[in-house]
Structures are given as C-alpha cells and as structure tokens.
Structure 1
Amino acid sequence: MTDTANPGTELVSQYATQVSDDLDRNTKEQERLTAEIAALQEQLATLQRDHSVLVNIRQALAGTAELVGAALPSPRTETTGTAEAESAEAEAPEAESDGGSTRGRKTRAKKSAPAQRRTAKKAPAGKASAKSPAKAKKAGAPTLGELILGVLTEQSEPRSAAEVAAALNEAHPERPVKTTVTRNTLEGLVAKNQVQRTKQGTSVFYTAPVASASAGTSGPEAGADQGE
C-alpha cells in the first residue's frame, strides 16, 4: 500500500507546485499590466491637459492677430502719404523763393498733370488708329447702297433682300453683309426713290429704277406698289 500511494502523492505535489508557479506568474503579470495602465492613464491625462492649453493659446493668438491687423494702416495709405509728403517738401523751397503767384501756378500744374494722364489712359491711341482706316475705307470704297444698286442694275428680274445679300457676299467676300442690313438699306433706297419695291404674296422684291422702267411701271400693279 505504501508503494502504491507514493506515486499519487508525488503527482499531486507536482501539480500543486505548477499551479502555485502559474498563480505567481499571473499575479506578477497583473501587477505589470496595472502599472502600465496607470502610466498610460497618466500620459493620457498629461496630453489632455497640454491639448487644452494649446487650444487656449491658439485662440488667444488669433484674437491678438485680428486686433493688430485692425490697428495697422494699409500699405497703400502709407505709400500715398509718403509720396505726397515728399512732393510737398520738394516744391516748398521753390514756392517760397518765387512767391505766391508761382505757388499758385505750380499747384494748378500739379493738379492738371494727373488729369491729363487719366485722360490719356481713357482715350488710348488704338481707337484713333482704328478709326482712321475705317474713314479711309468709306472715302475710297463704294457704300453699301451703291453696291446694292449695282447688283439690282445687273439683274433683269426683281430680287429679294436675301438674294441681294447673297450676290453681295459672292461678289465682295471681303465685305460680308447680313440679310437684315441689306433689307434695311434697300428700304432706305426705296424711301429715296432710288429702288422700287414690289410684293408677290407675302414676299417682297426689289428692282432698280432702270429695270422697272424698261419692264413698264405704268400699270395698276406698279401704281399700287408706289402707293405702298
């Protein structure tokens, strides 16, 4: 019986020793983790305090920057004031030596010079140069009315405003013209009795006086058209 009990006792003793060791390791691990958690919590609390302090500092700096920006004058104002002061100092000796009349003339000249520069800026030289070719073109080239009369004279039949515009664009591609402009010019020539207008239904046609005279305009239809 003694031999049989000894192996069991030794096995229980081994298990008890192993469990005790595991408990010790578990306890030490808990202590280590607890210490680490406490350290991390302390670090977290420190970071939170630093965050609050930094937020307050940033808000204070932003408010200070706004106050400083509102108090400082603009650079343009300082530059303008300095330029005016230097100009006044440069003119002061001359004005004192020449007397009151010279000072008045210099003041008027000083006021007129910026006005002349502004006038020169508002009226650039490009517009004057752009107008001169247009005047030369009007003086040397035929007018739109003359071109229309030429087209109608060459045609033996009445033409609509669209047909006249197409003929003008084909004969003078460098001088394009729209149908609306052609119609307005034709109506102006009709008002001056330089072109005759006839209607066929809802369509309006135009003829030159020479063409209409050769075709005969003494009939009732021509009289009605002239009455319109």
Structure 2
Amino acid sequence: MPESTTATGLTSQYAAQVIRDLERNVQEQERINADIAALHEQLTTLQSDHSVLVNVQQALGIASAPVQPAAAPESSTVPAPREKASVEPSAGKRTLAKKDTTAQSGTAAKKSAPKKPARKAAGAPMSQPTLVELVRHHLTEQSHPRSAGEVATALGTAHPERGIKTTVVRTTLENLVAKSQAQRTKQGSSVYYTASTLAGQATTLAQDEPAKSE
C-alpha cells in the first residue's frame, strides 16, 4: 500500500507539472504571435509613411525644377553687355547695372515662388496608431472588464477599414498582460481583460497634458 500511494502521488505531481508547462508554452506562443502582429503592423505603417514621403519629395522636386534654368540666362547675358561697355563706357555700365538688378530681382522672385508645396507637406496624413495602441487605449476607457471578442467588436466598429480579427486582438491582449500593461481575470470559462493601474494613469496624464498647455 505505501508503495502504490507513493507512485500515485508522483504521477499526480508529474501530471500537474506537465499541465503547468503546457500553459506556459501556450502563453509564450501567444505572446510571440502578438509581437509578430505588432511588428507587421508597424512595418505596414512605415511603408505607408514612406510612400507619402516619396510623393511629397516628387512634388517638391517638380515644383523646384524650373528654378535651375533661370540661372542660365543670367550667365549668358553678362558677357554681351561687357563687350558693348568698351564702345559706350558710361551709358553701357549704367545699362548693365540696371539689367543685373532686374535679373537678380526676377531670379529672387522665382526662387521664392516654390514655397507652396511645403504647405502640402505639412498637410500630409498622420500615421495611424498600431493595434497594440488601440487595444490599450480601449481598455483604459472601460470601467468594466472586457473579453477579447468585445474589444475586437468595438475596435472593428470604430475602425472598419482595418479588418480587425478576434484572434489577433486576443494575442495582443495576452501580450499586454505579459508586459504588465493589462490584467486578466477568469469568470467561469470566460477570460476578461482590464487595463493595469499604471497604464491607466499614464493615459490619463497624456490626456491632461494638452489641456494644461492650452
């Protein structure tokens, strides 16, 4: 009897250890999947910003191109008045000075003209927040725990163009839990998430700073 009891106890311990190891393995997989999804979304955002910057650069290049040929007539017309200056010393110099002043004022006006594209650059679209930021911000605004499905539904309604999926939201929430930026609770077989106290305080401070500056 003692030997069978000892064997049964060891088997129970091994079984419990295996269950704990499996849970940790699944949690680690979910955390890594969330990191991959967040990095992929950041890469997509950077690629979108790159396209916008390239378009702005091309727009600025097209607008500033006519400025370069404007310098050519200035250098080509300078030798001609100097040849005439040898024939008409006083009148030629005065005429040359007037032409140089007119050419310089016209060139300065042309160089100052391509300032309009800079306004287009200032009005370029801002980069969109990542899914991690959206999920964390949504949790900080909630007064009660929310499941992954409820968070995905709310974000999908607010951002229909992003095609947010529940599985990605769940892995993102687990990633926030692993980083202590969210808390996870169980009610029966359901899992609910809330924002951690530190994350909520950080969001509140971030929202209060613009109000104070105004």
- Establish whether TM, by shorter chain, passes 0.5: no
Which TM-score band applies after superposition, normalised by the shorter structure? 0.3 to 0.5
State which structure, 1 or 2, has the greater radius of gyration over its C-alpha atoms: 1
Which TM-score applies when normalising by structure 1? 0.33
Higher RCO (C-alpha under 8 Å, 6+ residues apart): 2
